[in-house]
Structure 1
Amino acid sequence: MRKRQQTGAAVVFVGPFVVAYLVLFVYPTLKMVVLSFTNAPLIGEGKWVGWSNYLRLAHDNLFLQSVGHTIYFVVLTVIPTTLLGLVIAMMVLRLRGLLQSLVLAAFFLPYILPVTVVYRIWEWMIDPQFGIAQLPIRLLLGHSVAMWSDPLWAMPSIAFITIWWTNGFNVLLFIAGLKNISQDVHDAASLDGAHRWARFRYITWPLIWPVTALVLTIQLILQLKIFDQVYLMTVGGPFNSTYVVVQYIYKQAFQSNHGGYGATVAVVLFVAIAALSVLQFQALRVRPS
């Protein structure tokens, strides 16, 4: 009787989640996979074309460019934002009281802003005529730079804004991990004569590694799906220099009405994200010595 009650309670609590998961994730994913083997429009049925859509990707220059740009964006953001989050977290923990709370809030505040607000803030700040962010650029280069209109600067500027916008979440994760390290360990190392770098290298870094692996994996998944910032700030330009994979899916499915081909690109991205995330997380499970 008791076992039945426990099973019934488990079904009541877990059942709604399982149903929602099947309806909102599993079914659309399977539908997308089936759609990728057809030439269907966005809405409606299409003819079965087998592997033609996938073979077409290998010769699609814009798709290959979007893959390259997405990888470039990942390189510009994933490791830098992870390291910066760790450094900021260690600095914040050195503060005390109200000052610590204010500094932490200042770093986390951008994370709660919607992307449209972030876009508008930085549109004003990097405006070539009156943007305040152009002051250091003029000091370094001697002239203003239209960041989002220059192929050389467009993607790095989007990456910089993305780090500024999202890094507060990483800081919170690292603070939580750092607080789990007992102060007694650091005190014992100090008594043994270990200087600050040695304590970080042999105590903090190995103990904070699981959190670092988590942050790297989360950032890899998020940055491979980059779309909002690119679409708002550059619309993939100039000269397609910031065109990314998700924007290509949007173009094919919603602008060109090629639902089958758009689904093909989406399936490839889904498989790539899943595979890279698993491989990276497994590789990072080994603690540094």
Structure 2
Amino acid sequence: MESRPLRYFVAVAEELSFTRAAERVGIASPALSRAISGLEAELGVRLLERSTRRVTLTETGTALLTDARGALVALDAATQRARRAAGVAGGKLVLAVKADVEGGLLEDVLAAYRAEHAAVPIEVVFTGWREQPGLLRSGEADVAIVVEPFDSDGLDAEPLLSEPQVLALPTGHPLAERPRLRLADIEAGHQQVGTGSHVYVRHGAQRPQFGDMVQMLRQIELGRMLALFPVSLAERNARPQLTWRSVDDAPEAAFAVAWPQSSQSLAVAAFVRVATAVSVGRNSSGMADVE
């Protein structure tokens, strides 16, 4: 089976319109219709029910749609990796990290990796919160530093380090007057914006909008929310309008290095080995508390 008619089928199945699907994939509607008919003939099944008013998926079409999406994602990921490897002599490694949320490991890991025999040029891609697993699966990144738990479907991972989380709150907030806190102190006047979230708002309030770490910290400074962060992030974000407080029973932030299970890259293996070694040294030296 060729990938092109499979892409056409996914487009029609998602749009439920031959006209919209044809515009999406850039071919004429009659040609798209013929391609779908050819795919049905090749498979010996009916995938779509067509009428002058609507297009619907058959039960077989619904089953194929799930597998087709997965197959196309895998194919696109392989294509991305091959093109990237061909673009630089010896290939390159794309590392995905959330800016400032990498346990303070990034600089040391990069320095140690460059000294490795199997090292290749490395590109660091800064992502949004928990975007790294998707980039690994799509082939847009080769390796990532992530915070656990994360969506590990199709990925392997090695733990790196764990560190305390501290509370960021606006200077002058009543809780800022206490040297140490517990989660119950936060929850007395605030609620999490979602299960397992590290963001807290006043009871009944909505989660404020923010797009990156700078905006997030600014929302805290304005008193619109509180948030737990790894202590390494707090150490790099001292701001006069922010106060950081230890929370004795807050869960620790656990970092890991993750990569696709299908990867056979020596460069990825070298990066994982280096990241693990650097984290062992960091764990043995300990980290400072933030007051």
TM-score normalised per structure 2: 0.22
Q: Which has the higher helix share?
A: 1
Q: Which has the higher strand share?
A: 2
TM-score normalised per structure 1: 0.22
